[in-house]
Amino acid sequence: MKRKNRKLSQETRQKISDALRNKPKTEAHKEALSASLRKYWQTIPVEENEAEG
């Protein structure tokens, strides 16, 4: 299921963080991930109250 907005619970954020921790990545892979995620997040709208901080 595709996300409708950027809101994630703290529990979900922690699960993602734990899953991604301690996995080695090359510099090229890190750059590719970063570029892809920046592009992806530009397509997800920011909720009005989230944009404030």
Each residue's pLDDT, cut to its tens digit, for the chain (53 residues) gives 677 777 889 999 999 999 989 888 899 999 999 999 999 999 988 887 765 55
Instruction: Tell me if residue 9 falls in helix, strand or coil.
Output: coil
The pLDDT, as a whole number, for residue 51 is 57
Contact 8, 50 (CB under 8 A): no
The pLDDT, as a whole number, for residue 53 is 54
The pLDDT, as a whole number, for residue 45 is 86
The pLDDT, as a whole number, for residue 10 is 93
Beta carbons within 10 angstroms of residue 7's beta carbon: 10
The pLDDT, as a whole number, for residue 29 is 94
